[in-house]
């Protein structure tokens, strides 16, 4: 025989006694392996979703507001030797044929076969070149199948921003009723999305060419998907710079008929500043800016609605003007006369302000001087394509009654030929805007067309147009790798279950060691060192624990499936209803088992350490009673610990009382935890005190029972601690539940005091609070006077809310007028960075940080959890002109309905994201009684904008649901732990009674009835359970005091009452069962054996 053989013999012989250790090892390993497997499964699911939504796409060029040619895809494909798919990505609204089901946030994708090649899927349009294909999510939402008709409303991109009051705010969508030819699933590339989140989009696929024609963008697209091995954005950007054409940045070249000039103009009316610089950089370039003026007046005479061109002219000062013959005659102006121009300049929300400028007539020229004057007018929407003046439909107010026959005649003959010319410098001063400072440029010498085109093309920096490839795959993978770690989360949520298993392991192994004290004593007596004995027992325990962990790991797989089932059903809020695939990684199972094994062995080691401290002679005599442990004390230490913990708790409570906020909640939680420690130490002190009592306290059955409780104070204290800590956690954590409805009307709540939240697919332009706006949304009735709408601009990005399980890389940005929040004191106190100027965070939004850093506010969940940032951190962005800039988190507010976005000032927004037009997010202030009616009116009047209106409380509730679900899981697992604790209590009863069978037999012999003994045992252990509950619940009540007085928080008394009642019932049940089991049979026999 060797030591190993000895250990094997011991394992086999004490197999029944080792069942406890085996079972607790099973629980530890199952819980740990389960938690890790849940983490793996969620991570695997997110990674799988990245593959499903991207197909083989590695990098992508996304430009929602600028359109480039489909041919660019071919050129890049050739250059990079990679698969490139041109795509048109637009937003849309879809409804089924009878409009009973509607989808407002659909992604309309114009695609061709190359798109499905990248998705490694069959092209559903291969046989039919028209029709609509929907993904399974959209089909399910709409309740449609192949063959059904649906109504598709597609957001039509404007020629230029609709924020410009010069263009019409009509013609926002195109409508198409078509047949669904196929429903495609995730494997069929139906889940395609470039957004870095796990939420399945509602995709509507149509042929690219068809869609481009439908929205007047024939031959254009706004997205390129590139799939190529080893492809980097740097390489792709370099290829783009090489192959980009003028047409791709919206420029068109044309030989001017009847002259030797080349004319360049933009599809977008105004030419961006960066392109202007390139255009004017060519030798001989002559830029011009043609503007629509309301009136040209000289004295009493005036000409309505004319084009005036600002261009480079020699010998003319900035305050001088050249007019054409027709105009000179119409207003009877001569050289030297003063001419006044009245024109609109653009203000916020499509507002137009009339400005006037005076010029002195420098000269009078012919209407048509043969250099293509007619071409100087850009393609103003609603004007340039009108056959006659009365058909004009520009965005600005035009009084058609002012148009005279002679004006009509001029239009018929000369169209938009400018009637006057000023210098370019003068024109740019009064008409340049954020969309550009030229409407065209001219070059001499038509034979040079190719050379000029090439020279210009070479000058174009695509990044300035915001054209830059994004490594969507890497971003997706990064988002997954930095995603919420559900493994750690579940590990944290299972923390108490694991702790309970540890304490139980320690207890059951302690029971076993107690029984084998004499064996340890004998081994030490015959020369085994404490280290050798420890190793032998550890090895023996490791054999049992290892076996338990193997079973536990296997059970962990089932536990994981149960958790995943929970996440798919009752806890779906925790994963935003994402389908979680089970992913059983063998190494994870092994790690879980190993962790469970370590936890068990640590508990065993703790238990052994205590026993091996005893001398051999003590151990050899332990069958009688470990009297030394009763008299050795430790009471003094308990007293100090208890006093210190009480003092600490009192200090915290005094310091933080009335301070409010989350700091107070945290402080009180700490105070509660300290009180828990104080309570448990006090119980230890009392148990020690009872154990050395010499007189009194034994006069009653209760006194006798209490004295018994103090005999094995370690066991008793373990039970008290287990129950106290469990009930503390379950009760105190419950208070962190949010009730969004409790405080929703307050301005300082997460709703900002707003009643309704709206989000549209198509941007709404103009002010909804002015007369025109109110008319638009049907709120003209006087009773709606108190209703106010705060409109916000949106720049799409990753959802940085808790609903996105991935780490958001480029979050959505909201632009708002900060005064709207400041005057309302909305969203309460906001933690902000120190600033010498700004008084509050809303002012801070208007202040630019150093080096053009833009200040932003976001809510706590967005910053901390979704972005993994802190106050003062910055996030990189690229503006619409291709400039990189940083958004700094200058303020963090409490969790709010604006979760998921960075909020910047509208001023900064329009500067940085000039191409994002209109407003897509709305907060509505309305009296509660009108809330329903206002909601209906908004939904009905803005139906074509695809608006979804919901209550702010409901929206906040959806965000709170995630956190509340975590708390539910924690409470459930905490409840399970408490049941485990009550099992532990039962085991303690059983072992205590079995240990004392001899003395109980003696008591029977001297006349105690079995009932009296059972009562004594019950009182002893019920007292321990009650002490645990009193310590735990008492400390928890202190911990949650501030929360109880905070609106929006609730204690969830119902759940807590159920948990405590269950624990009490289970506790009582296990005490009775154990006492009954231990006291059955003839106790007197035990006396005889003694």
Partner 1 sequence: MLELIDVVKEYPAPGAGDSLKVLKDISLTVEKGQSLAVVGPSGSGKSTLLNIIGGLDRPTSGKVIFDDCDLSTIGDGLLAVMRNLKIGFVFQLHHLLPQLTVLENVLIPTLAGKMKYSRKENAQRAESLLDRVGLADWMSHRPGELSGGQMQRVAVVRALINAPQLLLADEPTGSLDKAASENIADLLVELNESVGVTLIIVTHSMKLAERMSKVIEISDGRLV
Residues in the chain: 1090
CB of 709 to partner 1, least distance (A): 19
Q: Which is nearer to partner 1, 404 or 617 (CB)?
A: 617
Q: Which is nearer to partner 1, 10 or 576 (CB)?
A: 10
CB of 688 to partner 1, least distance (A): 11
Distance in angstroms between the alpha carbons of the first and the last residue of the chain: 33
Instruction: Determine phi and psi for 201, rounding to 5 degrees.
Output: -80, 165
Q: Which is nearer to partner 1, 623 or 714 (CB)?
A: 623
d(CA 391, CA 384): 10
Q: Which is nearer to partner 1, 193 or 629 (CB)?
A: 629
Give SS3 for 183. Answer: strand
CB of 607 to partner 1, least distance (A): 20
Q: Which is nearer to partner 1, 518 or 643 (CB)?
A: 518
CB of 11 to partner 1, least distance (A): 9
CB of 2 to partner 1, least distance (A): 7
d(CA 875, CA 467): 19
CB of 636 to partner 1, least distance (A): 12
CB of 710 to partner 1, least distance (A): 14
Q: Which two tokens stand for residue 523?
A: 């081994």
Q: Which is nearer to partner 1, 4 or 640 (CB)?
A: 4
Q: Which is nearer to partner 1, 426 or 523 (CB)?
A: 523
d(CA 187, CA 136): 11
The secondary structure of 122-177 as a DSSP string is --TTSS-SSSEEEEHHHHHHHT--TT-EEEEEEEPPPSS-TTSTTS-S---EEEEE
Instruction: Please choose, from the candidates 848, 968, 986, 845, the residue with its C-alpha nearest in 3D space to the C-alpha of residue 904.
Output: 845
Q: Which is nearer to partner 1, 10 or 727 (CB)?
A: 10
Give SS3 for 1007. Answer: coil
CB of 644 to partner 1, least distance (A): 24
3-state SS string for 964-1002: HHHHHHHHHHHHHHHHHHHHHHHHHHHHHHHHCHHHHHH
CB of 634 to partner 1, least distance (A): 13
Instruction: Determine phi and psi for 177, rounding to 5 degrees.
Output: -105, 120
Give SS3 for 633. Answer: coil
CB 68 within 8 A of CB 162: no
Give SS3 for 883. Answer: coil
CB of 536 to partner 1, least distance (A): 9
CB of 512 to partner 1, least distance (A): 13
Q: Which is nearer to partner 1, 522 or 1023 (CB)?
A: 522
Distance set, CA 426 to CA 298, 321, 355, 421 (Å): 19, 10, 14, 10
Q: Which two tokens stand for residue 327?
A: 């105009």
Pairing of strands 301-311, 420-423: parallel
Instruction: Please choose, from the candidates 130, 138, 212, 215, the residue with its C-alpha nearest in 3D space to the C-alpha of residue 175.
Output: 215
Looking up tokens 């054209």, which residue turns up? 467
CB of 682 to partner 1, least distance (A): 20
Q: Which is nearer to partner 1, 618 or 961 (CB)?
A: 618
Instruction: Determine phi and psi for 1058, rounding to 5 degrees.
Output: -65, -45
Q: Which is nearer to partner 1, 689 or 849 (CB)?
A: 689
Q: Which is nearer to partner 1, 126 or 526 (CB)?
A: 526
Q: Which region holds residue 332: left if phi is over 0, alpha if psi is between -120 and 50, else beta?
A: left
CB of 693 to partner 1, least distance (A): 11
CB 815 within 8 A of CB 913: yes
d(CA 7, CA 33): 28
DSSP class of residue 802 equals: T
Q: Which is nearer to partner 1, 14 or 210 (CB)?
A: 14
**What residues line the site for partner 1 (CB under 8 A)?**
1-3, 6, 9-10, 12-14, 518-519, 521-530, 532, 615-617, 620, 623, 631, 692
Exposed, middle or buried, 412 (CB in 10 Å: 0-12/13-18/19+)?
Answer: exposed
Crossing angle of helices 952-995 and 713-734, rounded to 10°: 170
CB 784 within 8 A of CB 934: yes
CB 180 within 8 A of CB 40: no
CB of 700 to partner 1, least distance (A): 24
Q: Which is nearer to partner 1, 426 or 533 (CB)?
A: 533
CB of 967 to partner 1, least distance (A): 48
Pairing of strands 203-207, 102-111: parallel
Q: Which is nearer to partner 1, 13 or 640 (CB)?
A: 13
CB of 549 to partner 1, least distance (A): 23
Q: Which is nearer to partner 1, 528 or 579 (CB)?
A: 528
Q: Which is nearer to partner 1, 18 or 137 (CB)?
A: 18
d(CA 181, CA 887): 44
CB of 1024 to partner 1, least distance (A): 24
Long-range contacts of 213-217 (CB under 8 A, 24+ apart): 214/154, 214/174, 214/176, 215/88, 215/90, 215/154, 215/156, 215/157, 215/174, 216/156, 217/67, 217/88, 217/157
CB of 16 to partner 1, least distance (A): 12
The secondary structure of 402-464 as a DSSP string is G--HHHHHHHHHHTT--SEEEEHHHHHHHH-BTTBSBSEEEEE-GGGHHHHHHHHHHH--GGG
Q: Which is nearer to partner 1, 126 or 695 (CB)?
A: 695
């Amino acid at each position: 025989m060797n030591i190993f053989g000895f250990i094997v013999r011991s394992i086999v012989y004490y197999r029944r006694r080792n069942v406890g250790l085996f079972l607790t090892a099973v629980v530890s390993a199952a819980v740990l392996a389960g938690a890790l497997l849940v983490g793996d499964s969620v991570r695997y699911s997110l990674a799988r979703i990245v593959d499903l939504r991207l197909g083989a796409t590695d990098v992508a060029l996304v430009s929602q507001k600028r359109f480039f040619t489909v041919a660019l895809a071919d050129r890049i494909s050739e250059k990079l030797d990679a698969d490139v798919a041109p795509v048109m990505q637009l937003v849309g609204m879809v409804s089924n044929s009878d409009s009973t089901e509607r989808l407002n946030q659909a992604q309309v994708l114009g695609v061709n076969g190359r798109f499905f090649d990248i998705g490694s899927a069959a092209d559903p349009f291969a046989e039919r070149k028209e029709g609509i294909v929907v993904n399974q999510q959209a089909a399910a939402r709409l309740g449609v199948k192949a063959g059904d008709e649906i109504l598709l409303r597609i957001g039509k991109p404007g020629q230029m921003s609709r924020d410009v009051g010069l263009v019409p705010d009509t013609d926002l969508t195109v409508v198409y009723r078509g047949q669904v030819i196929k429903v495609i699933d995730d494997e069929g590339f139906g889940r395609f999305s470039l957004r870095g989140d796990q939420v399945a989009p509602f995709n509507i696929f149509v042929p690219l060419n068809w869609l481009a024609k439908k929205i007047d963008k024939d031959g254009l697209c706004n997205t390129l998907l590139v799939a190529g091995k080893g492809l980097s954005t740097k390489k792709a950007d370099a290829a783009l710079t090489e192959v980009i054409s003028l047409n791709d940045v919206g420029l068109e070249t044309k030989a001017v008929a009847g002259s030797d000039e080349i004319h360049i103009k933009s599809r977008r009316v105004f030419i961006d500043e960066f392109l202007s610089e390139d255009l004017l950089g060519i030798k001989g370039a002559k830029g011009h800016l043609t503007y629509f003026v309301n009136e040209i007046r000289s004295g009493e005479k005036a000409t309505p609605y004319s084009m005036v061109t600002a261009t480079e002219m020699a010998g003319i000062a900035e305050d001088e003007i050249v007019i054409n013959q027709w105009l000179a005659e119409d207003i009877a102006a001569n050289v030297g006369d003063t001419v006044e121009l009245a024109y609109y300049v653009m203000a916020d929300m499509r507002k137009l302000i009339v400005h006037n400028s005076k010029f002195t007539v420098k000269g009078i020229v012919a209407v048509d001087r043969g250099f293509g004057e007619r071409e100087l007018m850009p393609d103003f929407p609603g004007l340039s394509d009108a056959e006659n003046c009365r058909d004009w439909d520009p965005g600005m107010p035009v009084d058609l009654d002012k148009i005279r026959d002679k004006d009509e005649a001029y239009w018929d003959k000369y169209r938009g030929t400018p009637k006057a010319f000023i210098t370019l410098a003068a024109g740019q001063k009064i008409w340049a805007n954020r969309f550009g400072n030229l409407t065209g440029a001219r070059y001499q010498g038509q034979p040079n067309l190719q050379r000029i085109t090439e020279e210009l093309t070479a000058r174009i920096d695509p990044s300035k147009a915001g054209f830059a490839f994004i490594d969507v795959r890497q971003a997706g993978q990064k988002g997954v790798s930095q995603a919420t770690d559900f493994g750690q989360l579940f590990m944290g949520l299972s923390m108490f279950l694991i702790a309970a298993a540890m304490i139980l392991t320690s207890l059951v192994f302690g029971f076993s060691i107690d029984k084998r004290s004499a064996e340890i004593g004998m081994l030490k007596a015959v020369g085994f060192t404490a280290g050798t004995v420890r190793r032998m027992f550890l090895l023996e325990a490791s054999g049992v624990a290892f076996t338990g962990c193997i079973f536990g790991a296997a059970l962990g797989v089932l536990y994981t499936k149960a958790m995943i089932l929970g996440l798919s059903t009752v806890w779906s809020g925790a994963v935003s209803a994402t389908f979680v695939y089970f992913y059983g990684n063998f190494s994870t199972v092994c790690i879980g088992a190993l962790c469970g094994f370590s936890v068990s062995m640590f508990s065993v080691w703790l238990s052994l350490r205590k026993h091996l401290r005893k001398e051999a002679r003590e151990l050899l005599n332990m069958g009688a009673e470990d009297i030394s442990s009763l008299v050795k004390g430790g009471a003094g230490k308990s007293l100090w610990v208890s006093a210190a913990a009480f003092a600490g708790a009192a200090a915290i409570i005094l310091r933080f009382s009335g301070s409010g906020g989350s700091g107070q909640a945290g402080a009180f939680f700490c105070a509660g935890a300290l009180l828990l420690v104080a309570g448990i130490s006090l119980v230890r002190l009392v148990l020690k005190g009872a154990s050395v009592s010499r007189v009194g306290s034994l006069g009653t059955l209760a006194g006798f029972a209490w004295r018994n409780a103090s005999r094995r104070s370690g066991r008793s204290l373990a039970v008290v601690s287990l129950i106290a800590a469990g009930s503390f956690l379950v009760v105190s954590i419950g208070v962190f539940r949010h009730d969004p409805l409790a405080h929703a009307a307050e301005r300082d709540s997460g709703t900002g005091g707003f009643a309704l939240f709206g989000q549209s697919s198509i941007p709404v332009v103009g002010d909804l609070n002015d007369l025109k706006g109110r008319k638009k949304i049907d709120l003209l009735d006087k009773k709606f006077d108190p209703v106010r709408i705060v409109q916000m601009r949106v720049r799409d990005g990753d959802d940085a809310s808790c609903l996105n399980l991935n780490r958001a890389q480029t979050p959505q940005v909201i632009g708002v007028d900060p005064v709207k929040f400041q005057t309302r004191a909305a969203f309460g106190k906001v933690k902000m960075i120190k600033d010498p100027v700004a008084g509050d965070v809303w002012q801070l939004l208007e202040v630019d940080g150093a080096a053009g850093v833009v200040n932003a506010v976001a809510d706590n969940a967005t910053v901390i959890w979704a972005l993994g940032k802190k106050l003062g951190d910055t996030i990189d962005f690229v503006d619409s002109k291709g400039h990189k800039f940083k958004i700094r988190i200058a303020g963090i507010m409490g969790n709010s309905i604006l979760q998921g976005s960075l909020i910047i000032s509208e001023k900064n927004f329009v500067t940085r994201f000039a191409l994002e037009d209109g407003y897509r997010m709305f907060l509505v202030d309305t009296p509660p009684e009108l809330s329903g009616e206002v909601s209906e009116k908004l939904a009905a009047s803005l139906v074509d904008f695809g608006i979804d209106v919901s209550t702010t409380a409901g929206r906040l509730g959806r965000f709170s649901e995630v956190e509340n679900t975590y708390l539910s899981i924690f409470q459930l697992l905490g409840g399970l732990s408490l049941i485990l604790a009550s099992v532990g209590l039962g085991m303690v009863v059983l072992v205590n009674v079995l240990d004392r069978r001899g003395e109980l037999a003696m008591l029977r012999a001297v006349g105690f009835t079995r009932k009296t003994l059972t009562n004594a045992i019950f009182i002893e252990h019920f007292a321990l359970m009650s002490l645990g509950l009193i310590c735990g619940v008492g400390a928890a009540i202190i911990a949650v005091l501030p929360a109880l007085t905070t609106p929006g928080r609730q204690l969830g008394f119902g759940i807590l009452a159920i948990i405590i009642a269950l624990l009490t019932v289970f506790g009582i049940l296990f005490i009775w069962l154990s006492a009954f089991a231990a006291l059955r049979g003839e106790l007197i026999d035990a006396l005889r054996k003694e």
